[in-house]
Structure 1
Amino acid sequence: MSGEATTDTSGLTLLGHGAALPASPEAATLERVPNPHLGYRYCVRFTAPEFTSLCPMTGQPDFAHLVIDYVPSDWLVESKSLKLYLGAFRNHGAFHEACTVAIARRLVEELSPVWLRIGGYWYPRGGIPIDVFWQSGAAPEGVWVPDQGVPPYRGRG
């Protein structure tokens, strides 16, 4: 295994086992693993094109396409735990802005990344799409961070 970085996964509890969706985002466990490439700057992207939550006023479902980009420091988020965390919003009532920024803040709290941004591209409710964007600061110089690639909502025209 010469030249290959490895990651210690011994502390993970969700990966490799069946796991139910957490009852709420607060109850969800976000697991992390050591960054196998310490000292290198690179961008990691997660895309959740079928994210759902509930409108806190009507209880109706809201749908979004989320794009999360981050430059890791010491930790990487374990993807199954992220999937379950995001799935926990399915029965969670909160406005678009609250969901999007809460996800970013939780990831920053758990990972302490060099940089993180999230784009929440929400589908229209009441005829108005709401897109929510947050980032922890300027993207680090020298790191390729591609465009999120989600076009603005255009309806049928």
Structure 2
Amino acid sequence: MTKRPKAKPSALQLGQPTALPQSPEEARLDRVPNPHPGTLYLARFTAPEFTSICPVTGQPDFGILVIDYVPGDWLIESKSLKLYLGSFRNHGAFHEDCTVGIAKKLVELLKPKWLRIGGYWYPRGGMPIDVFWQTGSAPKDLWLPDQGVAPYRGR
């Protein structure tokens, strides 16, 4: 039997009211032990209403984020992920920085076997910017579905 890591004792957001953090730096991501650490499977989170702020104009930017990862010893606690993603609402950053920065923060916390993120951004100035990043090749024999967001055609 695989020995599971102990949960962080400071995962305090789950099960109680929690205010939306004012910035990604203020937000807290929590992890919980993976009950199936030796099993190859994909977990997906989709944020269809992701919002951030253009760092130059201050105008809102909207996108769809799809995060796929193969857990190792840890899972992301979903409430903390929702709050973290919501904290970008008032955060000024380019699409590339938001997308890749979120992925790298998750990789640092979870140390997954594999992770990819797709940032499908709505157009500003007449041009959508879609951003994709992954940690490397997907594990052999992993069922990897399409992210399900169509290329831009007037989303």
Normalization by structure 1: what TM-score?
Answer: 0.92
Alpha-carbon distance, 1:64 to partner: 0.4
Identify the residue that residue 39 of structure 1 maps to in structure 2.
Answer: 38
Percent sequence identity is 72
Match of 1:29 in 2: 28
Whole-Å separation in 2 of the counterparts to 1:96 and 1:10:
31
In structure 2, what is the equivalent of residue 103 of structure 1? 102
Structure 2: segments with no counterpart, 5+ residues:
none
- Counterpart of 1:3 in structure 2 is none
Deviation per residue, 1:39-59 (Å, 9 max, x gap): 111000000000000000111
Cα distance in 2 for residues equivalent to 1:84 and 1:105: 17
Q: How many residues align?
A: 151
**Aligned match of 1:71:** 70
TM-score w.r.t. the length of structure 2 is 0.93
Distance 1:15 1:140, change over 3 A: same
Deviates more, 1:19-28 or 1:114-123: 19-28
Quote the offset at 1:139 in angstroms. 0.4
2 CA distance for matches of 1:113 and 1:75?
Answer: 7
Alignment RMSD (CA, Å): 1.7
8 Å contact kept, 1:69–1:117 = yes
Which amino acid is the alignment partner of residue 135 of structure 1? Q
**Change in 2 beyond 3 A, CA 1:10/1:104:** closer
Give the deviation of 1:142 after TM superposition: 1.0
Partner in structure 2 of residue 114 of structure 1: 113
Report whether the alignment pairs 1:80 with 2:116: no
Cα distance in 2, alignment partners of residues 7 and 108 from structure 1 = 17
1:7 and 1:36 in contact (8 A); partners too: no
**Are the counterparts in 2 of residues 55 and 95 from structure 1 also a CA contact under 8 Å?**
yes
Alignment of 1:118-157 (within 5 A): 118-155=117-154
- Single out whichever of 121-130 and 6-15 deviates more from structure 2: 6-15
Gaps of 5+ in 1: 1-5
Tell me the distance in 2 between the aligned counterparts of 1:10 and 1:95: 32
Aligned partners of 1:42, 1:155: CA distance in 2, in Å? 33
CA distance 1:41–1:148, shift in 2 (3 Å): same
